[in-house]
Amino acid sequence: MIKIMVFRYSQNNPCPLYYYQRVEFSPEVLEMKIKKVFIVDDDPEFRRFLKEFLSDQPGLKIVGEAADGKQALEKVKKIKPDLVLLDIRMRGMDGFSASRLLKRIMPDLQIIIMTIFDNPKYQESAVENGAFGYIVKSNLTRDLMPAIRAALKNENKAHKHKNEK
């Protein structure tokens, strides 16, 4: 059992009334460790959408973002996230190169490639360069959370989420 302080205000009393409420959590919630997520995409609007989409997900915290692979390398070294969501096509360093270099400096880092391209060769290249998964952006709202959960549990190294036809 965990005690949580609850504040209650009434119209007649501007001072809060303090009391403890008995709250029980499942073992999964009690053992949940917040996982740090880093976003890399050259489109600032997409990064903003992704941050909003993930902000309501329990157990995840967005810890940073970058507009290209080079920026990502610099920031990820300092922040040390658990997961990087990485676009493929960006100016400067692309997602494949960034993935390969990120895995070299942080072998336990999980990387999920997000792209508009539903291309089997890109999927193979993503896995060859150290990515855990590959998601087509048109299916992002359906596929992203299952891919994140699998990556953070480190299930199935060649996990791929792609367009289902």
Q: Please, where are the H alpha helices in 61-130? A: 69-79, 95-105, 120-128
State the total domains in the chain.
1
69 domain residue, yes or no: yes
28 domain residue, yes or no: no
Q: Given this model, what pLDDT does residue 8 score?
A: 47
Mean pLDDT of the residues in the chain: 80
Q: Which residue has the higher pLDDT, 123 or 29?
A: 123
6 domain residue, yes or no: no
77 domain residue, yes or no: yes
Q: Given this model, what pLDDT does residue 57 score?
A: 87
Q: Report the percent of the chain where pLDDT is more than 90.
A: 61
Residue 65 — left, alpha, or beta (φ > 0 → left; ψ -120 to 50 → alpha)?
beta
Q: Which residue has the higher pLDDT, 119 or 1?
A: 119
Tokens of 3: 């005690």
Task: Say which CATH number the domain at 98 has.
Answer: 3.40.50.2300
Tell me the whole-structure pTM to 2 decimals.
0.75
130 domain residue, yes or no: yes
Query: Is a pLDDT exceeding 50 seen at residue 16?
Result: no
| Rounded distance between C-alpha atoms, residue 73 and residue 50, angstroms | 20
Query: Is a pLDDT exceeding 70 seen at residue 83?
Result: yes
104 domain residue, yes or no: yes
DSSP string, 12-43: S--SPEEEEEEE---HHHHHPPPEEEEEE-S-
Q: Report the percent of the chain where pLDDT is more than 70.
A: 74
Rounded to 5°, angle at Cα 111 from 94 and 91 = 15
Domain that holds residue 100: 33-153
**44, containing H or E segment:** helix 44-55
Average pLDDT score over residue span 43-67: 92
Average pLDDT score over residue span 33-62: 92
122 domain residue, yes or no: yes
Measure Cα distances from 146 to 10, 68, 102 in Å: 43, 25, 22
44 domain residue, yes or no: yes
Average pLDDT score over residue span 64-80: 95
Q: Which residue has the higher pLDDT, 112 or 3?
A: 112
Average pLDDT score over residue span 48-53: 92
